[in-house]
Structure 1
Amino acid sequence: MENGRKRELQRKMQARHVVMLSLGGVIGTGLFLSTGYTIQQAGPFGTILSYLVGAFVVYLVMLCLGELSVHMPETGAFHSYAARYIGPGTGYTVAWLYWLTWTVALGSEFTAAGLLMQRWFPSISVWIWSAAFAALIFVLNAVTVKFFAESEFWFSSVKVIAVVIFVLLGAGAIVGVIPMTNSQPAPFFSNVISAGLFPNGALAILMTMLAVNFAFSGTELIGIAAGETVDPDKTIPKAIRITLWRLIFFFVGTIVVLSALLPMSDAGVLESPFVAVLERIGVPYAADIMNFVILTAILSAANSGLYASSRMLWSLADKQMISPIFLTLTKRGVPIYALIFSMFGGGLALFSSIIAPDTVYIVLVSISGLAVVVVWMSISLSQYLFRKRYIQEGHSVKDLVYRTPFYPLVPIASFVLCLASCIGIAFDPTQRIALYCGIPFILFCYGSYYVTNKYKKRGVKYVNQNQSH
C-alpha cells in the first residue's frame, strides 16, 4: 500500500468508460422493475411526459455539472464544489447523502441479484448468491481503476443492447410488422390513450417525479469520474452529450413500448412488465432472457455504486473532513479502506432489509430517494455561484473550456424543477416518509459537521498554545 501522503488517483478512464459508467448507474432496477408502478400511477401518457420532464431536468443538471467538472476535474467532484461555493457544511452533507444513496442501493442490489438466481437454482439460499455477488463486485473494484472501468463497460453493454433490441421489437409489434401471439391485431397507440391522457389527474405526474428522478440517478457519476478520466476537458462534454441522447432513447423509448403493448391495468401488478411484453410478442424463453439482463443490470449498478461511494469517502478525507485513513491507496491507485467501508455499509443496508424491512430499511430507502434530488440541487446552485464569482474575480466567460448555456436560466430552472419534485412528495402519502426521514438526516449531517469542526479547531488551538510555551 502507498502512504496516504501520495494521494494520487490515476487517470485511466476513456470517454467510452465514462459514458458506460453513467449509463450503468442509471439503467438498473429503476428502469426494469419500477416502470410498471409509474405507468399505473400516472397513466401511459402521463408516464411518457414524466420521463421527458425527468430527462430535461437531468440534462439541465448535467449542463451545470459539465462547466464545473471541466473547469475543476476532481474525484468526488460535486461535494467539493458545494463546499467551495455554497458552504463547507453543505459540501459535507451532500457527500454523506450521496454516499448513503449508493450504499443503500448496494444492499438492495445484492438482495435482488440473489432473488433472481432463485429462478434457476431454487435450492441454493439467496444469502449465498448475495455474498458471492458482493465478493465479485468488491474484487472488480479493488484490482485497478482500468479493470473496474472495463468490467463496467461490458456489464453496461449487455443491458444497453438488450434495451435497444426490446425497443426495436416493441416498435415492430406496435405497428404490426411483428405479429402478436394469439393473432391479436397490432395495437398501435390505442393503449396509450385508452384511459384518457391523465387518468389519475395531472397532479399524479408531480407525485411520480421523485420516482422518475430516482430512476435517472447515476447520470451525475460523470462528475465523480472526472478526477480519473483521461483528458477531462474533451471527455466530459462528450460523455454528457452522448449520455443524454441515450437516456431519452432508452427510457422514453422503453416507456412508449410498454405503454403501447400493455393495458394500464396490467402494468403495475406484473413483476416485470418487460417479460409480459416479450411473451406477447412471442419471444421464446422471454422470462429467462430478461432474468439474465436484469441480473446484469443490477450487478452493473452495484459496480458503479461501490465505485461512487468509495470515491466520495476518499474525497471527504482529501478535504480533511473525515479520517485520513480513507486516503490510503493501493499500488494501483485504488482507495482500499474507502472501498472496504462502503462495502461494509452496503452489507449493513442488506442486513437491515432482512432484519427490519418495515422500519430501518424503509427509512434508508426514503432518504436515498430524496438525496439524489438534493445532490442535483447542490450542483445547480454551485454552478450559479461559481459563474458569479468567476466573473467578479475579473475572468472572462470566454476562457471557460465548457460553458453552461443560457446562464443564469439553466441553473435556476434545474434548481426549481428539482425543488418541485421534492414538494410533489408531500402530496403522496406513500412517499411522504422521504421528507420525514430525509430532512432530519440532512440537519443531522449539518450539525455533526459544525460540532466536529468546532472540536477540531479547539484541538489545533490547544496544540499551538502548548507549542508556543
Structure 2
Amino acid sequence: MTVAEDAPRRSRDSSKSSKPTQINNDATDVEQQHQVPPIIAKHGQLHRGLSSRQVSMIAIAGTIGTGLFLGTGRSLAQGGPASMLICYGVVGFVVYVTLLLLGEMATQYPVAGSFNAYAVRFFSPAYGFALSWNYWFNDAVSVASDLTAAQLVLQYWTTWHTWVISLIFWVFLVGINAVHVRTYGELEYWLSSLKVATIVVFIILGICVNAGANTSHEYIGAKFWHIDGAPFHGGFGGFARVFVTASFAFGGTESLGITAGETRNPSRNMPRVVKFVFWRILIFYILCILLIGLNVPWNYPNLSNRSTTTSPFTIIFQMAGSTAAGSFMNTVILTSVLSAGNHALFAGTRVLYGLATAEPTPQAPTIFARTTSRGIPLPALLATSSVSILCFGSSFIGSGVLWGWLQNIVGVSNQIAWFSIGLASWRFRRAWVLQGRPLSEMKFRARWTWPWGPAFVVIAVSVIIIIQGWSSVIPHFSAVDFVSFYIEIPVMLLFYTFWLLFHRSPSPKSSPSTLQPAVSPSAIPQPTSTSSTSPPSAFTPLLVSRARSSRWRVHDFVDVRTVDLYRDEYADEEVDVVEDKVREERVSGRWRWVWKAYYFLA
C-alpha cells in the first residue's frame, strides 16, 4: 500500500485513537452514553446542528412546495395532461441522477457552498463565481416567488390587501433564520411532515374522486385526456414550456449539498438522505401529476391566467364535495409556501456566506462572512431577505403574471445548477481516477452511474434549456417570455467574464518545467491537523498551472491531475462514532423492527 493510499486510513485511525471517551461495546454501556456529546463550534463559523431527520425533511420541503401545489396548475393549462406527465417524469429522472452525483461529492467534502464550491474546486473559479452569484440570486428570487404565491393562495378567501400577509411572512421567516440553524431545521421538519401527510391523503382522495366519489357521482376515468386540445395542449411549444415549470417544481433537491456544511455525521447521513428522499419525492410527484391530469381538465376556469392561479389540489378537494376540505387544502398550501420561502432564504444565506469565505480570494464582500455566536451569518441573511421586496411588485403587474416570470427565472436557474453539478462531478471523477486514488476510498459511490452519469446530466439539461423557450419564439416572438427563459445565460457569461478580467490569480511558485502533483507522498495534508491558523475551505482549489504573462485570460480551468483531493475530507468525530453505535444497537436489539421503521419514516 502506498503512502498516499495509507494516509486517509492513518488520519482516521489517529482521529479515533485521540478520542477522550472510549466507547464500550456492551449494549448497556452504549445506552448509558445516549447523551450525545455536544458539537463544539467556533465563533465565526457555521454550526453542525442539523440532524438526519431534519435534513431528510428539508430535502422534501425544498421540492414539495409551491411548484407542486401551484405550478402544476400552470403546467396543465399550458401543456395539457400528457405533456405534464412526460415532462415531470423526464426532469425527475435527470434530477435523480444529479442528486446521486452531488451525494458523492457532498459526502466526501461536506462544506458550506456545496455544488458551487465543487465547481470552483474541480472546474473553474470564474465559472464557480458566476454560478454562486447566479444561485444566490435564484434563492433570493425564490423567496419573492413564494411570497407572491402566498398572495395567489389568499385570493381563495379574500382579495383585501393580500400583500400584508406576505409582509408578515417575510418578517417571520427572517426571524426564524436569525435564531439558530436548529430552529430552522425543526420548523422545516414539521411543515414538511404536514405536506407529506396531506399528499398521502390527496392521493387516496384523488383515486376516489376519479372512481366516482365526486359531486357529479360519475366515473371520470381518462375522459379529460380526450377533450378538445388534450392531451398535448399547445403542441410542441406547450410541451416544451412545461419543462421550465417542472424544473421549478423539482428545484431544491440540490440544496442537500448546501446543508452538508451544517449536517451532523455527514459520512452516514448524506448517503442515506440521497438514497431514500428522492424516491419519496418521485413517487409523490408522479402519482400526484397523474391524478391531477385525470381529474382536472386543462381548460378549467382560472386555472392559470394573468391575475390568478388556482391549485389543482384545492380543485380536487372541492370535487369531493366539501368546501371545508377545499379550505383545509388551501391552508396546507399556504404553509407549504411558508416552508418553501424558509428553505430558499436559508439556502441563499449559506451561498452568500460561502462566497464571502472563499479562499484565497473572497468572491463577495467579507462582511457577509461574519456570523453570530450561534453560527448565523446575519449580514448574509439580511442581504438575501432584502431582495424579496420584489414580491410587492405584484400589486402593479398582477400576481399571476409576476409569479409566472419568477417561476421561469428560478426554473432556469435550477437547471443551470444541475448542469453545473454534472460538470463538477465529471471533473471530480476524472481527477480521482487520474490521480490513482482507489474507488474504495470514496465514502459514497453511485456505482450504476459510472461512467455515463455526469455526461448524461450535462447533455440532458443543455437540451432542455435550449428547447423550453420554443413558445416564446414560435409562432410569435414574445420579448418578455424570451427574457424570462434565457436571461440567466448572459448573466452567467457576464459574471464569468468579470472574474477573468478583474481577478488576478496568484502566481504559481513552481516553474512549468518543475510541475509536480499537488499531493505528493511526502506531503499529504492531514485532515485532523490543527497547524493552520485558518480553517480550510472547499473554495480553495489547489491550482498548479502554467505561469501567465498577462492577466487577460480566456479561461482558468483547474488541472484535475494536480487538484488536492485530500483537502476538506471529513474525518469522523466522537459524536459521529457515538451516534453510529447507538443506531447499530437499536436496529439489532430487542425492538429492532420498531427502530427500523422509525429510521425509515423519520
TM-score w.r.t. the length of structure 2 is 0.70
2: distance between equivalents of 1:284 and 1:366? 32
Q: Residue 10 in 1 paired to residue 43 in 2?
A: no
Of residues 310, 314, 317, the one that matches 2:349 is 310
Please state if 1:148 is matched with 2:184. yes
The aligned residue for residue 417 of structure 1 is: 460
Equivalent-residue separation in structure 2 for 1:356 and 1:118 (angstroms): 16
* Cα 1:12/1:83, change in 2 over 3 Å: same
Contact 2:46 2:376 (8 Å CA) reproduced: yes
Q: 1:129 is matched with which residue?
A: 165
Change (3 A) 1:118 1:210: closer
Query: What is the aligned counterpart of 2:445 among 395, 403, 408?
Result: 403
Q: Match for 1:62 among 91, 99, 105?
A: 99
Compute the displacement of 1:245 (Å): 1.3
Q: 1:395 is paired with a residue of what secondary structure?
A: coil
Shift, 1:200, TM fit? 4.4
- Comparing 246-255 with 361-370, which one deviates more in the overlay? 361-370
Deviation at 1:433, TM superposition (A): 2.1
Q: CA deviation at 1:456?
A: 10
Structure 2 counterpart of 1:133, one-letter code? F
Deviations 1:174-217 (A, max 9, x none): 234xx221322x22333345666545445643332122112100
Q: 1:182 aligns with which of 191, 205, 216?
A: 216
1:370 match: 412
In the other structure, the counterpart of 1:462 is: none
Quickly say closer, same or farther: Cα 1:454–1:120, change in 2 above 3 A.
same
My pick for the range that moved more, 19-28 or 225-234, is 19-28
User: Which structure has the larger Rg?
Assistant: 2
Question: 2:339 maps to what in 1?
Answer: 300
Q: Which runs of 5+ in 2 are unaligned?
A: 1-40, 473-477, 508-602
For residue 286 of structure 1, the aligned residue among 306, 325, 333 is 325
Map 1:314-333 onto structure 2 (within 5 A).
314-319=353-358, 320-333=362-375
SS in 2 for 1:263: coil
TM alignment of 1:23-102, pairs within 5 A? 23-102=60-139
Structure number with greater CO (CA < 8 Å, separation at least 6) is 1
Q: Which amino acid aligns with 1:446?
A: Y
User: 1:236 is aligned with what amino acid?
Assistant: M
- The equivalent residue for 1:380 is 422
* Correspondence for 1:228: 262
1:36 and 1:114 map into 2 onto residues whose CA distance is 16
Percent sequence identity is 31
Q: How many residues align?
A: 449
Q: Distance in 1 between matches of 2:402 and 2:205?
A: 41
Alignment RMSD (CA, Å): 2.6
What do the CA deviations read for 1:337-365 (whole angstroms, capped 9, x no partner)? 11111111222x22444467799998766
Deviation at residue 264 of structure 1 after TM alignment: 3.0
Offset of residue 173 of structure 1: 2.5
Deviates most, 98-107 or 35-44: 35-44
Q: Are the counterparts in 1 of residues 233 and 239 from structure 2 also a CA contact under 8 Å? A: no
Q: Distance in 1 between matches of 2:153 and 2:396?
A: 20
CA distance in structure 2 between the aligned counterparts of 1:164 and 1:277, rounded to whole angstroms: 14
| Equivalent residue for 2:295, pick from 248, 261, 268 | 261
C-alpha distance in 2 between matches for 1:338 and 1:276: 39
Q: Which runs of 5+ in 1 are unaligned?
A: 458-469
Give deviations 1:276-323, integer Å, cap 9, x for gaps. 211222134133112211110100000001100000011001102112
> Are 1:207 and 1:421, in contact at CA under 8 Å, matched by a contact in 2?
no
Three-state SS of the structure 2 residue aligned to 1:428 is: helix
SS at match of 1:80: helix
Matched, 1:391 2:426: no
